[in-house]
Amino acid sequence: MTESSFNYRTPASQLVEIAKIAAPYKGQPDRLDLVATEVKKIVPVLSYDVAKVIAREMDISLSQVYNFVTFYAMLSTKVHGKFTIRICKSAPCHVNGAAEVIRALEKQLGIKMGETTEDGRFTLEYCPCLGLCDIAPAIMINKQVYGNLTAESVREIIKIYIRGEIEE
C-alpha cells in the first residue's frame, strides 16, 4: 500500500481530532470498527494521513487499517460524489436483472462502475451485498434503498436526483 492508494488530503485540525478518537484504543485492534465509524463522522474519506494516524494511535499496522477500510463498502479511500449509488455483486441481484440496471445507470450518468461523474454529483460502485435479496435487483443511493428495479425504473429514480428533487 502506498500513498497513491488514497486521493484525499485531510486537514491537520481533523487529524488531531482523529488522533483523540483512536488513542484510547491503543493495543485494541478489534476496536478498529468503532474508530472507523467515529472517524467517518469527521471526514468524508479515510485518507492516507488518516490511516497513518489511526495506525499510530492504535499501535496497529497501516496495512491493517487499509485492509479494513477497503473491505467495507461504507468506508472509502476515494472521494465520492454527493450521491453514491451502490449495487451488490451477489447472485440474487444478478439473476434478477442487475446487469440491465447497471447498463442503464452507466449510460444515463456517462460513467462506468467505480467512477464519479465530472460534476462530482454521482458515484457508481459495487458492494458485496446490500442484504436486500427479497427486492433484488436493488440499489442504495446514500442511505435510501430502491428495489425491484428495471432499467426503466432506475432511469426515473436517477432523473429525480438529477432534477434536484432530492437534496440528501
Structure-derived torsion over alpha carbons of residues 45, 47, 52, 58, reported in degrees to the nearest 10: 10
Q: Are 159 and 144 in contact (CB under 8 A)?
A: no
Q: In whole angstroms, what is the distance from residue 84 CA to residue 67 CA?
A: 21
* pLDDT at residue 73 in the model: 63
Q: In whole angstroms, what is the distance from residue 89 CA to residue 87 CA?
A: 7
The H or E element spanning position 123 is: strand 122-127
Q: In whole angstroms, what is the distance from residue 23 CA to residue 167 CA?
A: 36
Q: Are 64 and 1 in contact (CB under 8 A)?
A: no
What is the residue-level pLDDT of the chain in tens, covering all 168 positions?
444 445 567 888 999 999 999 999 999 999 999 999 899 888 877 888 899 999 999 999 999 998 888 777 677 777 778 899 999 888 888 888 999 999 999 999 999 998 889 998 999 988 878 888 899 999 999 989 999 999 999 999 999 999 988 876
Q: Count the alpha carbons within 13 Å of 106 in the hemisphere toward its beta carbon.
A: 13
Instruction: Identify the structural domains of the chain with CATH numbers, from first to last.
Output: 3-71 (no CATH), 83-162 (3.40.30.10)
Q: Are strands 144-146 and 122-127 parallel, antiparallel or unpaired?
A: unpaired
Type of residue numbered 20: K
pTM score, whole prediction: 0.67
The three state secondary structure string of 19-45 is: HHHHHHHCCCHHHHHHHHHHHHCCCCC
The three state secondary structure string of 128-144 is: CCCCCHHHCCCEEECCE
